[in-house]
């Protein structure tokens, strides 16, 4: 499509790229426990003992294979958050993601890294750093990270 | 083997990523497509140093780095320099398969233009064949304003000998029955 | 540990387009060509004098890959040695480091580096999604703004940094840009205006965040022998260091304590013999995608202690007339054509050392530093000096 009457044209290309991502062993196991048991699992490095979530095959600090799975529970502390209020196109859906919504980092008990996810409260303005948050799961789970719908503030 | 791996189903996540792009063509490329859109005329741009006519046109000669602004009209007819018949389908394709795709050197141009070929008899396709642009009725100012290139009929006397090897085509085989695209 | 190169390498010329939110008058190749021609003019050189071209951008913004191929006409790299580098926000500084490494290796004498982005042609936040891990982060990804905001709130909470202190960064940098003919945004703002601007994602407001721009930047790196013939005051590269971190947003503290910048600056300072960066440098071009990042990264770069970024801002030390002017060019807050942005930091630092800064020139620059940052958490640091 171009501007009739203008001397500078625009070429439109609405891309739709289909991808098939292999989750790999560690992610597949995580998503299996999440889907079947509503469990959030971390993985421990045998050397430095740090527990990582999301799980990964090797410890970045020690460069050894991570081995022990740890149940991190479904509660954590809100380390940092924001309330997203600007409109943007979500390429996963092709339309604008509904705003406002909360998004932040949860410190699950025992984990050395934080999990990035949607966060919410009865009133988004009530979100505060340090709040206790609890995971809310989807009824029909599919085996991906959105099986956790969001983390909700526990004060209610 | 680690116990947790036993019976583990590998997960494959499917994602369709949709992103809208809008590319500015710039003055040079815009002019090329405006001529096609409004006049069904194809233009090339000439480097005075290298004496090369580029189609599609560009603002700088890649070979000598001179800025270019000398427009020339090139023909909408040319010679097929190479081609292929694509049989396998993929999710992103300009036309349904089988499709013929080739490089055409228009009369007056020194570089080839990649485009689709259609209305061609597969058996008669050959390098060196004369082809002519077929334009869309409603043009908007992009490369698909040229629908495709089609073979130009030339008299028996002018016809060159085919360069394609004679292959016995089995009925229902890879290339199927002799047919028009 | 990285070392000082045995072969002296200098930046001898730079060229930039006039960065804008949209450049519909040129296509990508023509935009690249503009920066290349300006850079050649700055050096009084022709393309024949260039041994190799290293080019890059953040490809998923335009959705066009293989720039190294189809930009050849405009980039001047026809039948020359070439390489493409694409490392997200650090693309520009990775390109600068590549230019340095090429010449330092002794295999090349003159190398041109080109960074560019035509951000108006894609959808920025959608493009950023390609950067997020498909399994763990894509569904929740909220663009660069979301990531910075979630980390900035933790930074404010931990150290008591205020939105006012962050707003001062926006006022400082955008005002500096008034002196930069290439800058995209040139705004004379007050702290009040920044605080009242539209909230995008708490605590980041519209004026706290960088723009997206269409633009390109080119530089020429040369060996000592060639540098002395090309330019009277080249900017000598003393150190170049990069650092990576673990992959997920929750693995690190992007705004609270950027590990990669801390580690990279520590090493770069060691190589260059810098003991007190606030005093030893005369100017710094610090990559700052948002106001809070500049405050926190003062700390990571060792200009002040942990949590003191806000205090340093209040002290005035980083203004044009302060102890260490930071971002006289206007910084990323004024111009952000991603593939070029980090290179513009190096180019502007070089411009300061070469004395070509015009209205934005800091007086008596001997040593300058430039940093790059990318959404891959990568940090690049380059130290330039008037003497090799």
Contacts of B62 in chain C (CB under 8 A): 72-73, 78
Residue with tokens 């999710």: B91
- CB atoms near residue A93 (< 10 Å): 11
Contacts of A58 in chain C (CB under 8 A): none
**pLDDT at residue number C137:** 92
**C45-104: pLDDT as tens digits:** 999 999 999 999 999 888 888 989 999 999 999 999 999 999 999 999 999 999 999 999
**Whether A154 contacts A75, CB under 8 Å:** yes
Rounded to the nearest 5°, which phi and psi values hold at C91? -45, -50
Hey, which residues does C220 pair with through a beta bridge? C13, C112
**pLDDT at residue number B179:** 45
**pLDDT at residue number B158:** 58
**pLDDT at residue number A147:** 97
- CB atoms near residue B166 (< 10 Å): 7
Residue B91 DSSP symbol: S
Given a cut of 70, is residue A1 above it in pLDDT?
Answer: no
In a domain, B165, yes or no: no
Cα-based distances in Å from B18 to A91, B14, C130? 5, 13, 11
Q: How far apart are CA A48 and CA A27, in angstroms?
A: 21
**C278-296: pLDDT as tens digits:** 999 999 999 999 999 999 9
**pLDDT at residue number C376:** 81
**pLDDT at residue number B118:** 94
Instruction: Give the closest-approach CA distance of C314 to chain A in angstroms.
Output: 25
Structural domain containing residue B69: 26-158
Q: How far apart are CA B162 and CA A131, in angstroms?
A: 79
Alpha helices (runs of H) in chain A, residue ranges in sequence order: 24-37
pLDDT averaged over every residue in chain A:
92
Q: Give the pairing type, strands A132-137 and B77-86.
A: unpaired
In a domain, B166, yes or no: no
Pull the structure tokens for residue A41.
């699992």
- Inter-chain CB proximity C150 and A144 less than 8 Å: no
- Inter-chain CB proximity A82 and C251 less than 8 Å: no
**pLDDT at residue number C375:** 79
* Structural domains present in chain C: 9-124+213-230 (3.40.47.10), 133-212+237-385 (3.40.47.10)
Cα-based distances in Å from C293 to C76, C86, C209, C321? 36, 23, 10, 22
Instruction: Give the closest-approach CA distance of C124 to chain B in angstroms.
Output: 10
List of chains touching B (3+ CB pairs within 8 A): A, C
Q: How far apart are CA A136 and CA A149, in angstroms?
A: 6
- Inter-chain CB proximity B13 and C134 less than 8 Å: yes
Structural domain count, chain B: 1
Residue C31's SS3 state is helix
Q: Name residues of chain B where pLDDT drops below 50.
A: 169, 172-181
- Inter-chain CB proximity B59 and C30 less than 8 Å: yes
**Whether C346 contacts C217, CB under 8 Å:** no
Confidence (pTM): 0.91
Reported ipTM: 0.89
**pLDDT at residue number C63:** 86
**C17-62: pLDDT as tens digits:** 999 999 999 999 999 999 999 999 999 999 999 999 999 999 988 8
Q: Buried b vs exposed e over B131-161: b needs ≥16 C-beta within 10 Å?
A: bebeeeeebbbbeebbbbbbbeeeeeeeeee
Contacts of B9 in chain A (CB under 8 A): 28, 32
- DSSP string covering A72-101, please? --SEEEEEEEEEE-S--EETTTTEEPPS-E
In a domain, B33, yes or no: yes
Contacts of A23 in chain B (CB under 8 A): 10-13
Given a cut of 60, is residue A3 above it in pLDDT?
Answer: no
Q: Name residues of chain C where pLDDT drops below 70.
A: none
């Amino acid at each position: 499509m171009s501007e009739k009457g203008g001397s500078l044209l625009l070429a439109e290309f609405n891309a739709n790229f289909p991808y098939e991502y292999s989750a790999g062993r560690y992610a597949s196991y995580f998503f299996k426990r999440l889907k079947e048991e509503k469990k959030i699992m971390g993985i421990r490095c045998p050397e430095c003992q740090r527990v990582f979530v999301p799980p990964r095959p090797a410890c970045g600090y020690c460069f050894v294979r991570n081995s022990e799975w740890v149940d991190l529970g479904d509660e954590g502390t809100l380390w940092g958050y924001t309330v997203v209020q600007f409109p943007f196109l979500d390429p996963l859906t092709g339309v604008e993601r509904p705003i406002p919504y909360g998004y932040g980092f949860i410190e699950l008990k025992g984990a050395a890294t934080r999990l990035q996810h949607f966060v919410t409260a009865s009133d988004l303005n009530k979100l505060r750093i340090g709040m206790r948050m609890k995971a809310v799961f989807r009824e029909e789970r599919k085996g991906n990270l959105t099986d956790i719908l969001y983390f909700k503030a526990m004060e209610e | 083997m680690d116990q947790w791996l036993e019976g583990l189903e590998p997960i494959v996540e499917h994602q369709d990523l949709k992103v809208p792009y809008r590319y500015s063509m710039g003055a040079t490329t815009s002019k090329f497509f405006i001529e096609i859109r409004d006049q069904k005329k194809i233009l090339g741009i000439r480097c005075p140093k290298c004496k090369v006519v580029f189609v599609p046109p560009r603002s700088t000669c890649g070979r000598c780095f001179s800025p270019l602004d000398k427009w020339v009209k090139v023909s909408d007819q040319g010679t097929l320099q190479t081609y292929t018949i694509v049989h396998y389908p993929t999710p992103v394709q300009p036309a349904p398969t089988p499709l013929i795709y080739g490089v055409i050197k228009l009369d007056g141009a020194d570089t080839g233009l990649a485009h689709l070929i259609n209305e061609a008899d597969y058996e008669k396709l050959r390098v060196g064949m004369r082809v002519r642009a077929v334009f869309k009725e409603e043009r908007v100012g992009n490369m698909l304003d040229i629908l495709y290139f089609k073979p130009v009929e030339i008299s028996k006397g002018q016809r060159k000998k085919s360069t394609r090897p004679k292959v016995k085509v089995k009925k229902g085989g890879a290339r199927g029955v002799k047919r028009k695209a | 540990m990285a070392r000082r190169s045995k072969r002296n390498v200098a930046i001898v010329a730079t060229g930039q387009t006039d960065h804008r939110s949209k450049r519909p008058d040129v296509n990508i190749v023509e935009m690249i060509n503009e920066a290349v021609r300006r850079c050649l003019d700055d050096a009084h050189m022709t393309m024949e004098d260039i041994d190799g071209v290293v080019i890059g951008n953040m490809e998923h913004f335009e959705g066009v890959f293989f720039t190294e191929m189809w930009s050849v006409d405009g980039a001047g790299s026809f039948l020359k040695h070439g390489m493409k580098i694409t490392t997200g926000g650090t693309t520009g500084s990775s390109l600068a480091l590549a230019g340095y490494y090429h010449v330092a290796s002794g295999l090349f004498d003159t190398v041109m580096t080109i960074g560019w982005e035509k951000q108006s042609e894609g959808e920025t936040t959608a493009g950023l999604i390609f950067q997020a891990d498909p399994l763990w982060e894509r569904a929740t990804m909220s663009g660069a703004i979301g990531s910075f905001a979630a980390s900035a709130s933790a930074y404010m909470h931990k150290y008591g940094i205020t939105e006012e202190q962050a707003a001062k960064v926006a006022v400082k940098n955008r005002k500096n840009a008034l002196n930069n003919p290439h800058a995209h945004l040139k705004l004379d703002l007050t702290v009040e205006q920044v605080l009242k601007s539209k909230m995008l994602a708490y605590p980041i407001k519209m004026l706290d965040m960088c723009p997206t721009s269409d633009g390109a930047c080119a530089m020429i790196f040369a060996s000592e022998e060639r540098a002395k013939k090309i330019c009277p005051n080249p900017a000598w590269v003393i150190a170049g260091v990069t650092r990576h971190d673990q992959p997920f947003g929750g693995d690190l503290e992007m705004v609270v304590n950027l590990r990669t910048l801390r580690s990279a600056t520590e090493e770069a300072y060691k190589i260059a013999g810098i003991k007190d960066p606030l005093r030893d440098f005369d100017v710094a071009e610090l990559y700052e995608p948002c106001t809070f990042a500049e405050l926190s990264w003062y700390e990571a770069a060792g200009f002040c202690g942990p949590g003191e970024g806000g205090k340093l801002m209040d002290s005035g030390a980083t203004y044009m007339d302060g102890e260490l002017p930071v971002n006289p060019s206007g910084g990323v807050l004024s111009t952000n054509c991603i593939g070029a942005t980090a290179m513009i930091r190096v180019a502007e630092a070089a411009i300061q050392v070469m004395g070509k800064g015009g209205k934005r020139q800091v007086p008596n620059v001997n040593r300058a530093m430039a940093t790059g940052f990318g959404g891959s958490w990568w940090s690049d640091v380059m130290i330039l000096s008037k003497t090799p």
